[in-house]
Structure 1
Amino acid sequence: MYKAAQAYFQTQVTTTTQGDLLIMLFDGALKFLRQAKERMDAKDYAKKGILISKALDVLAELQGSLNAQKGGELAENLRKLYLLCSTKLLMANMRMDQKLVDEVIGVLTGIRDAFAQINTPEFAPKAPSPAQTSRGPVPLTNQTAVAAPSLGASMNKAFSAYSQAKKAG
């Protein structure tokens, strides 16, 4: 049964769009963080640490997928947010602080929801023409870097507000 589920998941990942994969990563991180909070309540420190480590792995993957050349200021702000979230999770892990985990959940939920809004047909990449496909494989587009202008403005506002809140205390 486990092998069948694993094969199904692998097929789902390889046939999913980049935007859907991005949302799946956020959903996974959020699931791990909610489970980590449950483990904190149960005083299951080992499992809590494993779950936070999994969320940190997802954040590292998200950060590694950013394209600074195409994404410009948006990619840089996302990189900073991912770094901030990672730092807060490391602190939460050491201090058993659910409030820090909640802060990260709030940030990741906001980013996830913003990406879900742009993961619509109107922002989907156009299919390659027959001339393009005859020249070899067509590189995938980076939806995170070429997102809608309104997303960039929203993310920049969110980053600014979050930075100000961090400085205030």
Structure 2
Amino acid sequence: MISSPHEKYKQSSVQTSTPGQLVIMLYDGAIRFVKAGLEGISSDDIPKANMNLGKAQTIISELMSTLNYSYDISKSLYALYEYMNYLLIQTNIKKKIETGEEVLGYLQELRETWITVNKLTAGMSLSQEQ
């Protein structure tokens, strides 16, 4: 049962979002968890690093499972997601911040791309309605 107003807002936000907005939310979560995992490594809080890097991997796996292979780009995105998961595993095993930062860069760039795509598609749908 959802009790707090914040939780109710989050649930409503997810239920009323477009598919593109949901992808951006997934990127936001992955970015947040990678950052928290890297903070865990920096502060030598291994449980925090493990938990958050694992959550980021789960989100990336979800992004992989939702790809639409009728578009050529999906194969490339799958390979990139697979590589990011590999890097997160290496980050977690070796506690190397550099590999986690590489993943963070990919996630941030992909998020910005999705924001641009959402704006373009929203503009296209508006012009089609007129």
> How far apart are residue 101 of structure 1 and its match?
0.2
Q: Distance in 1 between matches of 2:57 and 2:124?
A: 29
Q: Is the 8 A contact 2:36 2:48 kept in 1?
A: no
Determine what percentage of the aligned residue pairs are the same residue. Answer: 27
Query: How does the TM-score come out when normalised to structure 1?
Result: 0.69
Structure 1, gaps ≥5 residues long: 128-169
The number of residues matched between the two structures is 125
Higher Cα radius of gyration: 1
Q: Which of the pair is proportionally richer in helix? A: 2
Q: CA RMSD in A?
A: 1.9
Worse-superposed segment, 91-100 or 30-39: 30-39
> How far apart are residue 122 of structure 1 and its match?
2.2
Q: Distance in 1 between matches of 2:127 and 2:37?
A: 40
Q: Establish whether residue 112 from structure 1 lines up as the match of residue 106 from structure 2.
A: no
Q: Establish whether residue 86 from structure 1 lines up as the match of residue 85 from structure 2.
A: yes
What is the aligned partner in structure 1 of residue 10 from structure 2? 9
1:31-110 aligned within 5 A: 31-69=32-70, 71=71, 73-110=72-109
Q: Distance in 2 between matches of 1:61 and 1:49?
A: 18
Q: Distance in 2 between matches of 1:44 and 1:105?
A: 19
Structure 2, gaps ≥5 residues long: none
Query: How does the TM-score come out when normalised to structure 2?
Result: 0.89
- Opposite residue 118 of structure 2, the aligned amino acid is N
